Amino acid sequence: MVRVVGSADAVAIFSILLSTSFLCVAFFRSWRLRRAPPVVISGFHGHSKTVLSILLALSSLGRFVALGNSALNEYDLHIICRALEAAAALVLCVLSWLKHRRSVRPSDTIILYLVACLVRDGFELPSNIQWQSDWLMHDPILAQIVLEASLLATENLPKDHIRQSLGEDVSSEEKCGILGRTFFWWINPILFEGYHNVLSGHDLPSINTQLLSKPTRIAVLNAWKQIPRPENGMTLPIVLLKCLLRPFLVAIPPRLFLTFFRYSQPIIIQQAIVFVTTDELAHQTWTGFSLVMAASIVYVGLAISTITYQDKLNKLRTMIRAALVALIHDKTMKSYVGTISEGKVLTLANTDVDSIDTIGEMLHETWGQVLEVIIGITMLTWEVGWFSLIPIFIIFLCSRVSRYVAKSMRLRQGIWNEATQNRISMTSSVISTIKNVKMLGLQGVMAARIEELRSNELAKAHAVRLISTAYNASANANGMFAPVLTLIFYAISAKTSGNGLDVGTAFTTIAILTMVTHPANMVMTFIPKIISSCASFERIQLFLLEPCRQDRRMEISDLNAVAESSSNASDPNLDLPSMIYVKGISVREARTALQDINFTVPRGSVVVISGATAAGKSILVHSILGEVESFGTIALTSKRVGYCSQTPWLPNGSIRQVITDFHDGAHTDFSWYSKVIEACCLMKDIHTFRDGDETLVGSRGANLSGGQRQRLALARAIFARTDIVILDDPFSALDGTTENEIVHNLFGSDGLFRNLGITVLLVTNSSQYFYLADDIVILEKGRIKERGKWDDLSSRDLETLKVIANKDGGNERLVSGGPDLLLQQQRAYDDTTADLRRKTGDTTLYGYYVKAAGLGNFALMVSCIVIYSFFITFPQYWVKIWTQSRFRDEWFFIGGYIVIYLIAYVGSNGIYWTIHLRMAPHSGLILHRKLLHTVTCAPLLYFSLTDNGSILNRFSQDLQLVDKQLVAALSSMFIQACKLLVQVILLFVSQKLLTFTLPICLVFVYAIQKVYLRTSRQLRLLELESRSAVSIDLLEMVEGLSTIRAFEGEPKAVSEHLHRLDESQKPFYLLLCLQSWLKITLDLLVAAIAIGVIALAVILRHTTSGGSVGMALNIVLIANTTLLRLIQTWTDLEISLGAIARIKGLEDEVSPEDQPSETSVPPETWPSSGAVEFRSVTASYNAEDKVLEDVSLRIDPGQNVIICGRTGSGKSSLLLTLHRLLYMKSGSITVDGVNISLVPRSVIRERCFVTLPQEPLLFNQESLRFNVDLGGTLSNDTIIEELSKVHLWQHFGSDTSQENPGDANASTHPTLDRALTSLPPLSVGQRQLLALARALLQVYVISASGAKPIILLDEATSSLDPSTEKVMLDIINQEFTNKCHTVIMVAHRLGAAVLHLRPGVDAVVWMKDGRIEKICDVGDVVNIAEQTITTEEGFMSGL
């Protein structure tokens, strides 16, 4: 009875404490829930919990009543215990009812209480069975256990009937109880779905509301606003810590528990050896049962604390990513357009953020590992005394190396990131202008330039990898030689004192030394990483501290209030109903500065801003929009302005989405929408599309013609219904008929602008619509030269600008084919294609990557791994032989021990050297080359159907995985596999019986990973692809920043960004959770095996030696851990191979544009004359549509031919066909008798044609020399001469006129070698002139070989003012036409081009619907032009 009462008292005390704690917490929770609104609809689940909780309460009351017949009824302790249990059960009923209806999450309090009750009852049940024969009748404890288990299972179930208003916002994780969150049961549905089906973004559950980007963005932006001044290097980290302080701190308690359980393992090993080697139980501190129970608590506690800690880190990492991207996005939104670049923003948001997002884990691990080192040294001192100073000394030496690494790593990492940014910037520029790159024949040149930047990037990375390799050698020396020297010196000391090496001390010391050197190595590893991440912190912080856009514009109402309160006389213009008020505006930062600009725009008026190239028109518009820093006063009635930029910005979406993008309202007004598209002449285009206005416009409007893009941007500006509309040369890409119709619909007496009283500021180079203006402002050199109405200005000496060639045309057509075909092909190229290989994997990826890394490098890596794996594991067996040796030849064993570790040390360093200094650079270079070749050689259709951001993500995110993660994952997998093989052999030699745990573990682990791998592989691919959406969002924002801000579309842009960021965070966070699920599952398996090993050692204590047990315990735990790490590294490798799968998939799916038949290379003198002949040519963008049909045309050598027609009539398609950018279905094209379909496309584009596109192709980050002499072969004199011909050398050279120009033929020049961004800025016209200079130099180079290239002009003068157009046409006539070059010019308007046509020689070709309508000679064209002028003057008078 004494034993019964004693154990019962302990259970009773535990129960009293448990019930009291539950009652306190339950009362508090119930009080908080009393007024909470119901969020869950009661159903069968809720009723089941109510019934079970009531039954549990009745059971507790029954046990309290039954206590009267028990042997324990005389003890007040047990009466109090049962009374509190009954009270707790009653309170549980109330709390369960409230919690079920008023919280979406199951009650953690009830779940933990029920788990503790089951443990309590589990201890109480055996004593009841043993000491009471009729226990079932007197104490219904079994029924209570069943009820507790049933209620626990029911309570853990998530709640399904959540109210509609909350159900969509609650994630699966939040609806799960504490056990489900701890063991990640909530992720099981995703595992099931991923195992059986192909996952897509829509299949993923909502993310935890704690991790949503919006609250994190608000918090971090508020924290950034409150930063102290002046800033220092720690400003951004402090802001992050301040913003995420709570998520950071909650990871500390589980980390402390992890340390406690981790350092309990050596005690378990030591006590197990003592238990086995001691025969008398009296001398044993622990019994076999207590040893097994302690092992259970330690290993299960280790698994739970590890996964809880990891879960907190996962949440912190996700929030850090959201916070940093939010800061970058917000800063981009607030920056001046000229100060940001796509490559810079993408590099910061991808490469730098990825370098920082694990900073929380590194900080926690640093202090945690320091604590573990201290604990380990203390335990080691207890075992070996003063010999514990040896590892301290070695750690100190290695820390000096770590200090040097930390000091050097930051700068070198920053240089690496800068090189990555330069490569991505250039890649982005090439991809976004790929059509012009191909037309200009620069595909090979630009690919070589990007390759050069990639090589430079890898060279910068080599410095980081080299120092990392040196540090790894230092860390390995600490990890390997600290245990060796400590054990050896201790053994020598023991030998001199006459004792041998003790078994228990040896293996316990080895275990403790491992737990000292490993955290010491981790600390020395994390500190350089933290310092290295500071480089990324610094880059982001410098970006955040760049000057923000200062919008000094005022609203008219505020300006009037200021004027009234001022004692000075107010401006009389303010008394007028002005919409735009400009006074004393000056811009001094640019060469084309504004000086003292003054004018007002009355309400409902139309004001035209005109002037020559570089007169300051665009800068004036940007000043009114607040996009440049200006001095003076600008006031508007509203800062929300409808803006149509000179180069239309169109985000990828449907036509309807683009037009209605900035409308002010929740619902679209379709009647107004119809009026707008009718006024912009878009109705006919939309009707020709099968999907109508749901047709996708493509990245940068790639699926539309130039005129369609301009009209779409114009429709967007009108549909927004702003009081002010600013149109910057909106008709430059339109044909005359369409332009006249749109002008009539908008500016006519019954036009939309006039009827609605909208104020319009129209920037144009043409004087033909001056009739419509209420006021005209002519700029010259940044000043107002002329101002007034048309009647006043027309009497002065003004230059007549453009002549409209008005030709009727048919309906415009989508140049890229039918929308149905586009959508089908877009799905084919889409990154989210449902591919079965996402589930099953692709074993060919291993061979693909190994081949890229180099077979020799791979063989060297495997050799080093085999050597390292054997010699790092064999010391366990060597120590066993040492401790059991009868001869006790200590020096032999000491020498052997040292040699074994020396070989392992060499192998370890060989692995690191091979993978980081040989395999990673080699594979990075080869895979980048393959990817670059695939993309640059892809057909034009691929770029029309694929977002630029998606393509660019492969060059940033995928290659970052290749550079930094993939090779390490591959080597880790091989290391674990080889180590496992050696450990199994040694384990079989030591304890054959323990070997049977491995097959069981292997089968179990294989089943787990089979389920896990299918889902994790898909999540990784989804994560890579979802990042593309964020990249696309950032790219589109940078491109259209001025347009977004003009419409005050920042809130909408932020909302869309947050949505895309949340969508990208879902697969990222779910993948981390899935890895945590695998970790807890495998850790529990290790715990079960460890407990089994301890139990087996207890059972077989008389059949084995202490050395065998010690070695077996160490090896079996290490072997099973190795097996689990093998699975983890394998799955990590499979996940990282997602980047290789995307590269290889792109290479397999995207066929190059070059065909096998294109092998005929003409002589270098081809073309010698320039004769071109089209013979029944039918061409298309793909195999089904037609953009040219049965075109037959002969162009004689030296002839100047102008191609005219409406937008979409096939003019540009004709040039694209010449460049072999379109698919030629039938017919042939010959140049000087050579069929170009048999000639390599690179030869055609580089030698046969010299092209000048409508949008000049310039690379702002590159030098002036690179932009005009891409081959880098021309002398300074030659380049300067051509720049002088286009009147640009003085523009560039004046800033350096005082500098020493040096030798004109030298390889360097102070002006030519400066980046375009550092030179005086260029207007649109000047950029086109610079492109003309490049064309002149291209002709110069080609002509040097005896060839006479054909000149192609694709609407090259459409955006120019008359004076610049005349200059350009004069140069073309003088340099090309007069030198007998064939010139083919595409033009919407004839204008000044007519003046350069030669009667009887040159011709004009009219196109309509992809066919040649007629061919006119010069006389006919002049008559048409004169008739057009007369007709249009009458038309304007009618307006």
Question: Is residue 164 over pLDDT 60?
Answer: no
Note whether 1338 and 1293 are within 8 A (CB): no
| Among the listed residues 176, 162, 15, the one whose alpha carbon sits nearest the alpha carbon of residue 83 | 15
**pLDDT of 689 higher than 50:** yes
Confidence of residue 1194 (pLDDT cuts 50, 70, 90): very high
Q: Of 306-315, 507-516, 841-850, which gets the smallest average pLDDT?
A: 507-516
Report the alpha-carbon distance of residue 1064 to residue 1052 in Å, rounded: 18
The residues, ordered by sequence, that sit 6+ positions from 687 with a Cβ below 8 Å of its Cβ are: 811
C-alpha 224/C-alpha 1115 separation (Å) is: 51
Residue 1175 β-bridge partners:
1228
- Under a CB-based contact definition with an 8 Å cutoff, are residues 812 and 1206 in contact? yes
CA atoms within 13 A on the CB side of 995: 14
**360 with 248: CB under 8 angstroms?**
yes
Instruction: Find the helix or strand (DSSP H, E) in which 601 lies.
Output: strand 594-602
Compute the half-sphere exposure of residue 1358: CA atoms within 13 Å on the CB side of its CA.
30
**DSSP 3-state of 1368:** helix
- For the chain, what is the mean pLDDT? 80
Which tokens go with 480? 């390997």
Helix (H) or strand (E) holding 675: helix 670-679
Paired residues of 762 in beta bridges: 608, 727
Q: Report which of 710, 817, 813 is spatially closest to residue 1410, judged by C-alpha positions.
A: 813
Whether the CB-CB separation of 729 and 1358 falls below 8 Å is answered with no
Estimate to the nearest angstrom the gap between the alpha carbon of 678 and the chain centroid: 40
CA atoms within 13 A of residue 1018's CA, in its CB half-sphere? 27
Which residue in the block uniquely carries the two structure tokens 């290889």? 1144
Q: Which of 136-145, 249-258, 466-475, 578-587 has the lowest mean pLDDT?
A: 136-145
Give the HSE-up count for residue 728: Cα atoms under 13 Å, Cβ half-sphere: 23
Chain-centroid distance of CA 897 in Å reads: 49
Cα distance between residue 316 and residue 323, in whole Å: 10
Cβ contact 1205:707 at 8 Å: no
**CB-CB contact of 1368 with 1267 (8 Å):** no
Instruction: Please list, in sequence order, all residues whose beta carbon lies within 8 angstroms of the beta carbon of residue 664, skipping any fewer than 6 positions away.
Output: 640, 720, 721
When pLDDT is cut at 50, 70 and 90, the band that residue 1300 belongs to is: very low
Give the phi and the psi of residue 690 in degrees, each rounded to 5.
-65, -40
Both tokens of 970, joined, read 């591959």
Average pLDDT over residues 1118-1131: 72
Q: Is 639 helix (H, G, I), strand (E, B) or coil?
A: coil
DSSP assignments along 720-746, one per residue: TT-SEEEEESTTTTS-HHHHHHHHHHH
Tokens of 1394: 């007519």
Phi-psi region of 1339 (alpha: psi -120 to 50; beta: other; left: phi over 0): alpha
Question: In the structure, what pLDDT confidence band is assigned to residue 308 with cuts at 50, 70 and 90?
Answer: very high
- pLDDT > 80? residue 1070: yes
d(CA 1076, CA 1071): 9
CB 1301 within 8 A of CB 1343: no
1002: tokens are 């292997």
Residues shown for the chain = 1439
| Cross-strand partners of 636 | 555, 580
- Least confident interval from 108-112, 270-274, 676-680, 1259-1263: 270-274
Q: List the single range of 42-46, 624-628, 829-833, 988-992 with lowest mean pLDDT.
A: 829-833
Alpha carbon distance 235, 579 (integer Å): 43
- How does residue 319 score in pLDDT terms, banded at 50, 70 and 90? very high
Query: Looking at residue 699, what DSSP letter applies?
Result: G
Residue 510's pLDDT band (cuts 50, 70, 90): low
* Cβ-contact 331, 539 below 8 angstroms: no
For 1361-1386, write each residue's pLDDT tens digit: 777 888 888 899 888 988 889 999 98
C-alpha 733/C-alpha 722 separation (Å) is 24
- Provide, rounded to the nearest whole percent, the portion of the chain with pLDDT above 70: 82
pLDDT in tens, 471-500: 888 777 777 777 777 777 766 766 666 565
Q: Which value, in Å, is the radius of gyration of the alpha carbons in the chain?
A: 39
pTM over 0.85? The answer is no
- Rounded Cα gap, residues 1116 and 77, in angstroms: 46
Name the β-bridge partners of 724: 641, 759
Alpha-carbon distance 1131 to 1141, whole Å? 15
Contacts of 1048 (CB under 8 A, 6+ apart): 639, 640
Residue 436 CA: distances (Å) to CA of 443, 930, 1006:
9, 22, 53
How do residues 923-948 score in pLDDT, each as one tens digit?
Answer: 999 999 999 999 999 988 888 778 77
In sequence order, the β-bridge partners of residue 1191 are 1177
Q: Is the pLDDT of residue 257 over 90?
A: yes
From 954, 962, 880, 888, select the one nearest 926 (Cα to Cα): 962
Q: What is the pLDDT of residues 909-924, one digit of tens each?
A: 899 899 999 999 999 9
Q: Which pLDDT band holds residue 330 (cuts at 50, 70, 90)?
A: very high
Q: What is d(CA 331, CA 542) in angstroms, rounded to the nearest whole number? A: 11
Q: Which of 213, 209, 243 is nearest to 225 (CA)?
A: 243
pLDDT at 702 over 60: yes
Residues 840, 194: Cα–Cα separation, whole Å: 11
Whether residue 1130 has pLDDT greater than 50 = yes
